[in-house]
Amino acid sequence: MRTRWRSAAVAAAALGLAVSPVGAGAGAAYAWGAPAPARPAVTVPAPPPTPAAEEFPQLTPAVARELDAAIRKVMTEAKVPGVIVALSAPGKGTYVRAFGVADKSTGMPMSPGLNTRIGSETKTFTVTALLQLVDDGKVGLDDPIGKYVDGVPNGDRITLRELAGMRSGLFNYSADEDFGRAFLTDPRRPFTPQQLLAYSFKHPVLFEPNAKFDYSNTNLILLGLVVEKVTGQRLDDYINREVVAAAGLKHTLFPVGAEFPSPHAQGYTDQTLSGKTANATDWNPSWGWAAGAMISNLSDLRSWAKTVATGTLLKPATQAERLKVVPSLPGAGYGLGIFNVQGWIGHNGSLPGYQSLTVYLPGPQATLVVLLNTDTDYRGSAPSTLFGQAITKIVTPGHVFTLPAQPVTGH
């Protein structure tokens, strides 16, 4: 999810970590749904199982040409420098393409092997780590956050489940003007989790726990601290070993600071103090931490799409809890660090310079990954959403990935 805001002093930010079923960002007080029911979250009905042949076409040369044209059209309209796309389903073939440039100054082309920052897709890794601890009996989803972290507003009543499901009511630190100014004044500076929480906790809570949905990066910072307290390990160490390595991912990393393994594309953003486009490649993602700091590549995300959607690292009952989503928009809902948009399960990511989309459609076991080197919106829509929509209109017209454009929010 990503949120943008404008003020007289600061021309952008709430910075786009990410993703979401609402289509953009790090969520500045933009609640995507109607109030959640008082009873536990309900599941958005999955599409009825049908034969893969009826769900997904053969990726023939003709279909590939149609996809090529649709992707190039979005690139031109949204002024996207470069994009990488992978689409596949068992028995249907594989479509992998790279378009445009990875570096506008040199003209280096995009290629499928480039590393990228994945923004809020990090949430799927952090929540997986938490759910592994649930499976181990070390935490309970209905434990209050106050059991693990002191000083949280409503901490005696907000549960880990509500944090993972974006129903805590805690203010999103990345929507705070002081945070945005501090980050954009020096985007290479590091932030600690405690500094991030301080930006949130100076604001009153937005609503009572579980009253409604509101996408907030604050929730994931707290869950990262829970993982650290329970395991006695740094979050990056734990996720890199117990989630990334356990999933067999070879090019995925939870960085400590601004490190960014080569090769990678240059990332371009208009989230700057001046509003002019800047190169954000080496900006420090520590401000996203458990909510959005991670790095991956196309091959790993193609694998992770199925892992996270089917729960291969978790017990079936725990994965079932993860996939219970609160309906918020027609055909869309958010579970525990994961969304379901028209049947596509996964997450998107956005932070300055980069966007990503990694989703899985269970019926045909189809995987779609989109990676691009800009986070600049087009007519209020995240470009990753525009690519997802254009691609799924062709291959799964009954399951079109659609998230509405968001208005600019702010103070």
Tens digit of each residue's pLDDT (9 = 90 or more) over 263-296: 999 999 999 999 999 999 999 999 999 999 999 9
At 387 the three-state DSSP class reads helix
Q: Is 75 helix (H, G, I), strand (E, B) or coil?
A: helix
Q: pLDDT tens-digit profile of 217-240? A: 999 999 999 999 999 999 999 999
List the structure tokens of 328.
């918020």
Alpha-carbon distance values, 339 to 19, 32, 175, 329, 410 (Å): 9, 12, 21, 11, 25
Question: Residue 40 has what pLDDT?
Answer: 35
pLDDT value, residue 403: 84
Q: What percent of the chain has pLDDT over 90?
A: 83
Q: What pLDDT does 321 receive?
A: 98
pLDDT at 52: 42
Region 134-160 average pLDDT: 98
How far CA 371 is from CA of 32, 85, 88, 354, in Å, comes to 24, 7, 15, 8
Q: How far apart are CA 84 and CA 64, in angstroms?
A: 14
Report the chain's mean pLDDT, rounded to a whole number. 88
Identify the band that residue 54 occupies on the pLDDT scale cut at 50, 70 and 90. Answer: low
Q: Look at residue 331 in the predicted model and tell me its pLDDT.
A: 72
**What does the pLDDT average to over 357-378?**
98
Residue percentage of the chain with pLDDT more than 70: 85
Question: Mind listing the pLDDT tens digit for each residue in 181-215?
Answer: 999 999 999 999 999 999 999 999 999 999 999 99
Sign of CA dihedral 312, 313, 319, 322: negative
Residue 6, pLDDT above cutoff 70: no
Q: Which residues are bridge partners to 127 per DSSP?
A: none
Residue 30 has pLDDT above 80, yes or no: no
* pLDDT for residue 72 is more than 90: yes
Region 127-146: mean pLDDT is 98
pLDDT over 80 at 20, yes or no: no
The position carrying tokens 């300055």 is: 352
Residue 327 in contact with residue 335, Cβ under 8 Å? no
What pLDDT sits at residue 299?
98
For 234-303, the three-class secondary structure string (H helix, E strand, C coil) is CHHHHHHHHHHHCCCCCCCECCCCCCCCCCECCCEECCCCCCCCEECCCCCHHHCHHHHCCEEEHHHHHH
pLDDT band, residue 407 (cuts 50/70/90): very low
pTM of the entire predicted model: 0.89
Using the predicted structure, report yes or no on whether residue 411 has a pLDDT greater than 70: no
- Please say if the pLDDT value at position 2 is more than 50: no
Average pLDDT over residues 321-331: 84
The answer to whether residue 71 scores a pLDDT higher than 90 is yes
